[in-house]
Amino acid sequence: MLYFIETILPLAVTKNFTYQVSQAEFDYIEVGMRVAVPFGKTKIYTALVLKKHNTPPQLYQAKEIHQILDEKPVVNSLQILHWKWIANYYMCSLGEVYKSALPTGYIIESETLISLTSALDLDLTKLKDDEYLVVEALKIQSTLKISEIVNILGKKSVFSVINNLISKGIISLQEEIKEQYKPKQTRFIQLNPDFDNPQKLAELLETLSRAKKQSELVLGYFQLQATYKKPITVKMLLEKANSSSAIVKTLIDKDIFIDYYINEDRVVFKKKENSLFELSASQQIAFESIKTNFHNFDVTLLHGVTASGKTEVYIKLIEEYIEQEKQVLFLLPEIALTTQLVQRLTDYFGNQVAVFHSKYTNNERVEVWNQLLENSEKAKIVIGVRSALFLPFSNLGLIVVDEEHEQTFKQQDPAPRYHARDAAIVLANQHKAKVLLGSATPSLESYYNCESNKYGLVELKERYGKVVLPEISLVDLKDKYFRKKMTGHFSDDLLKEITETLYKGEQVIIFQNRRGFSPYVECITCGHVPHCPSCDVSLTYYKFKNQLRCHYCGYSIANPTHCHSCQSVELSTKGFGTEQIEMELKSLFPSYNIGRMDQDTTRGKQGYEKIIAAFKNQEIDVLVGTQMLAKGLHFDKVTLVGILNADNLLNQPNFRAYERAFQMIIQVSGRAGRKDIPGKVIVQTYNPLHNTLQQVLLNDYSAMYKEQIYERNNFKYPPYFRLIKITVKHKDFEKLKEGSLWLYNVLHQNLKMPVLGPEEPAISKIRNEYIRTILIKIPTKEHLGNTKQKIQKILMSFEAVSQYRAIRTKVNVDYY
C-alpha cells in the first residue's frame, strides 16, 4: 500500500499538493501538522497537512516529503474550515490564507535567509557534523538560503539542523533576526542532590573553606531555601549572597550547583483589586436585551452613543461566556486602541487575557498561538486586530467586534482581502458562537441588516453618568476668510474656545485629516508641482525635515530651492497637514504644550502608547492628529474638539464618503466632554449647509442612514449590490490599456450585471506601475457563488492570453 498526504503550500496557487510518505510517517502525521516539502527543482516549503490517503495523484508523480516539523498539529480543523471559506469568498488561494494566518516563524521556505547571530566565539567542537558544516559555510558567506544549505549538507532534511542551530542561538532567520521564536526563560538554581544529606554538606563546606566567596554563596543558598521554600532563581541568589555570576559559574562547573530554565510567559497581566463595577440602569437594560436578542439572532448590533459605556456592557457579557468555559475573541480595528482596552479588560479579568497584534514580536505571537492550541487559561479572552481571527480557537462562545464601522477591518493587501467583521460572523457560526457588533456610528451595512431583521439591534442612547453629548457648532470658512477673521487655519471662534479651554486647565483635540506640513509645493511662476517619479501623486512637504516625500512609495528629496521646471525661486506650499497645524499652534500658544499624533509620530512598538500616555497625563495640552484620534480613546480632561476642515472629509472620491465623514466627525466629537464637564465641538467648513453636516449637528444617525441608504439603492452600491473590484497593473501603459479593455469586454459580455471601467483611478501610477480598475456590481438576487466562478474563469482565460500574461490582476471582493 502507498501512503500520501495532501497539503497546502503558502502560495497563490489554488490547488493542493500531494506528497508521498512512508507508513511510519503516515501513522505519525496528523492533519494540521507542518511538513517540509520539496517544490519545483530546488525549492523547499513548509506545507500544512490537510488530508491523509492512499490514492496516488493522477497527473504527477508524488514526491517524498523532507521531514515532519511538528509533534502535534498546530492548526485545528475549525481553522481550516474557516480558511476555506475565506479563500472561497474572497477569491484567493487557501495557501495565501495559510501564509497570512500563521506567525512568520512557523513558515520557513527555501528562500528564507539564514545568518549567524552576531558576536560569536563559538566552541565549534560541541557541534554535530552537520551543524559544524553550516556554521563554517556561514562564516565565509554571511547569509545562506535554506536551499543552499540543502546543497551543502547533501541532504534534504535540513530543517532539524537549522532548528537546532536556531535554538542554540547560533543562527537566526534573516527576515526576523530580532524575532525568532525563543521562549523567554528564567534561570533557576539548585544544589546538586548529592549534597543533600548533612554529612555530605559538611564535607562540602569543609572543602570550600578556603574559597570564601564560594562558601558564602552556598550558605546564602541555604538561608534562602529555609525561608523561601520555592524554586530559587539565580538572580535572587546573587542578590541574597551579594555574589557574582562568575562564582555561580564556578560552582556549576564544579557540579555543586545545577542550573535550569523555565519558560516564562512574556506578557503577564495582573488583575486589579476594586475593578468591579455595576452597570447603570440603561446599560443593564441593554445588557439584558442583548442576551434576549441572542435567542433569536446570532448577531446583534449595539448602537450606543460615544461614552455610553459599551465596554462595560461587553465586559459583563464576556464574563458570562468565560464562566461557561467558552473562549472570547475581542476584535478592534486598530492597534492604537488596544492599550486602553487591554488595561480595562486585564484589570477585570487578570491573566485570562491574551493580546495578539502585528506590533507584537513573532515570539509573542507564537506564544499566544500556542496558548490557544492548549486551550490555556491564559488565553480565555483574546484581544486583537483582524488577524486574530486566524488563531487556533477550539471553543469560541462570543466574538465582540468593537467600532464595527471602521474600514481598517477590511484588509487591502496582500490577499486574503477579507473583512474581519464579516469573517468573524462566519467564524462564530462555525463555532456556534454569538457575535456582538458595537458602534456609536454603525456601518450602513450592519444597520441595514438590523432593519431587515437579520441582526438584532440594541440601543444605548445616553452617556454613562448622564454626561451630556457635546454641543456641536459649524463655522463658515468662506465668511471668516471674507471678513478676515482667520489666523492661519483657525477661525476667531475656534481660537477663542481654545484659549478659554486651556485657561481652565482643560485639554483640546484638533483634527486634521492630512499628515505632513502641506500636501504639495507649487511654483508661483509656472505652476509646476513636484511629483513622485514612480507614482502619480504630488510630493508632500515636510517642514521640519525640509523634505518632499511620497506617501505611496517612501521616495524623498530635499526640499527644492528653485523650480525644477522654470528655475524660479518663488515656490509656495499648498494646503495644510498636521505638521503645519502643530507649528501654528506652537506660535499661537507658546506657553502650552502641543503634541501631534499621526502615522509619522507613532512609528515603533510604543509609538502610540507614548503619545496617548503623555496626553492622558496632561503633559500635552493640545493634541493635533489625523483619524487615529477618532477611535474610541478616552481622555477625561478633553472638553474641546476642533475640526479644521470638514470639506476634505466630504470630498473623497468614494461612495462611502458621506457615511464616513459623518462617522468620523461624530467619533472625534465623542472625545469631548467626560465626567462632569460638558464638551464642545467646532467644525470649520466651506459648506455649512451640507446635508451630512446638518445631520452631524443634530447627531441624527437615522437621517444620515435614510439619505445614504436611498442613494446606495439608486446608484447600485452595497448593501443592495455587492462589489468586486479588479485591479490590473503593468509597467507598459499601452499594453495595460489594451489588456484591461479585453478583460472588461469579456466580463461585460458574460455577466448580466453592471460592469464599470476600465477606469484610471485617481492615483493611476504607483511605484512605476500603471493601474486600471474594473468594478463589478452584483445584485443581491444573483447567485454570488456562481458569479464568482464565472469571474474566476474569465480571469483564468485572461491569464492564458499570451500577450497579457505579464499583467498582474488583483481581486477585491466587497471592495471598500
Binding-site partner at residue 7 among Zn ion, ligand ADP, none, CB < 5 to 8 Å by type: none
Non-local (6+) Cβ contacts of 273 within 8 A are: none
* Residue 284 host element (H or E): helix 281-296
Q: Which is nearer to ligand ADP, 232 or 329 (CB)?
A: 329
| E strands in 333-376 | 353-356
Going residue by residue from 511 to 530, which x/- string records binding to ligand ADP, judged by CB under 6 A? --------------------
Query: Is 667 an interacting residue with respect to ligand ADP (CB under 6 A)?
Result: no
In the bound complex, what is the minimum distance in angstroms from residue 310's beta carbon to ligand ADP?
A: 4
Phi, psi at residue 271, to the nearest 5°?
-75, 140
Q: Which is nearer to ligand ADP, 86 or 435 (CB)?
A: 435
Instruction: Report the largest interatomic distance among the alpha carbons of the chain, rounded to a whole angstrom.
Output: 99
> Locate cell 431587515: which residue?
452
Cα 484 from Cα 97, distance rounded (Å) = 56
* C-alpha distances in Å from residue 340, one per residue of 41, 332, 599: 50, 11, 19
The answer to whether residues 493 and 643 touch, using CB atoms and an 8 Å cutoff, is no
Q: Which is nearer to ligand ADP, 338 or 812 (CB)?
A: 338
Query: Is 815 an interacting residue with respect to ligand ADP (CB under 6 A)?
Result: no
Binding-site partner at residue 397 among Zn ion, ligand ADP, none, CB < 5 to 8 Å by type: none
Q: Which is nearer to Zn ion, 468 or 763 (CB)?
A: 763
* 3-state SS, residue 776: strand
Q: For 291-334, give the secondary structure using H, E and C.
A: HHHHHHCCEEEEEECCCCCHHHHHHHHHHHHHHCCCEEEEECCC
* Residue among 178, 115, 121 at smallest CA distance from 149: 115
Query: Is 283 an interacting residue with respect to ligand ADP (CB under 6 A)?
Result: yes
Q: Which is nearer to Zn ion, 546 or 568 (CB)?
A: 568
Q: Is the dihedral of CA 107, 108, 113, 117 positive or negative?
A: positive
Residues comprising the chain, all counted: 816
Binding-site partner at residue 563 among Zn ion, ligand ADP, none, CB < 5 to 8 Å by type: Zn ion
Q: Which is nearer to ligand ADP, 135 or 279 (CB)?
A: 279
In the bound complex, what is the minimum distance in angstroms from residue 757's beta carbon to Zn ion?
A: 24
Query: Is 403 an interacting residue with respect to ligand ADP (CB under 6 A)?
Result: no
Binding-site partner at residue 532 among ligand ADP, Zn ion, none, CB < 5 to 8 Å by type: Zn ion
Tell me which of 104, 214, 293, 306 binds ligand ADP, using CB under 6 A. 306
Tell me which of 308, 507, 518, 812 binds ligand ADP, using CB under 6 A. 308
Q: Which is nearer to ligand ADP, 306 or 518 (CB)?
A: 306
Phi, psi at residue 56, to the nearest 5°?
-65, 150
Query: Is 701 an interacting residue with respect to ligand ADP (CB under 6 A)?
Result: no
Which of these segments, 98-106, 278-286, 541-549, 572-580, binds ligand ADP (CB under 6 A)? Answer: 278-286
The answer to whether residues 120 and 168 touch, using CB atoms and an 8 Å cutoff, is no
Burial level of 339, CB count in 10 A (0-12/13-18/19+)? middle
Query: Is 442 an interacting residue with respect to ligand ADP (CB under 6 A)?
Result: no
Query: Is 267 an interacting residue with respect to ligand ADP (CB under 6 A)?
Result: no
Residues near Zn ion (CB under 5 A) are 523, 525-526, 528, 532, 534-535, 550, 552-553, 555, 563, 565-566, 568
> Locate cell 496528523: which residue?
30
Which of these segments, 248-256, 310-318, 591-599, 796-804, binds ligand ADP (CB under 6 A)? Answer: 310-318
In the bound complex, what is the minimum distance in angstroms from residue 278's beta carbon to ligand ADP?
A: 6
Query: Is 310 an interacting residue with respect to ligand ADP (CB under 6 A)?
Result: yes
Cα 132 from Cα 126, distance rounded (Å) = 9
Residue at 257: amino acid letter: F
Q: Which three cell numbers stand for residue 170?
A: 547560533
Q: Which is nearer to ligand ADP, 530 or 632 (CB)?
A: 632
Going residue by residue from 620 to 659, which x/- string records binding to ligand ADP, judged by CB under 6 A? ------------x-x-------------------------
SS3 content of the chain, % helix, strand, coil (to 5): 40, 25, 35
Query: Is 671 an interacting residue with respect to ligand ADP (CB under 6 A)?
Result: no
Query: Is 280 an interacting residue with respect to ligand ADP (CB under 6 A)?
Result: yes
Binding-site partner at residue 312 among Zn ion, ligand ADP, none, CB < 5 to 8 Å by type: ligand ADP
Q: Which is nearer to ligand ADP, 277 or 733 (CB)?
A: 277
* C-alpha distances in Å from residue 584, one per residue of 488, 500, 704: 7, 18, 34
Residue 206: how many other CB atoms lie within 10 Å: 10
* C-alpha distances in Å from residue 666, one per residue of 501, 669, 778: 20, 5, 31
Query: Is 311 an interacting residue with respect to ligand ADP (CB under 6 A)?
Result: yes
Cα 3 from Cα 20, distance rounded (Å) = 6
Query: Is 435 an interacting residue with respect to ligand ADP (CB under 6 A)?
Result: no
Interface contacts to ligand ADP, rule CB under 6 A: 277-280, 283, 304, 306-312, 464, 632, 634
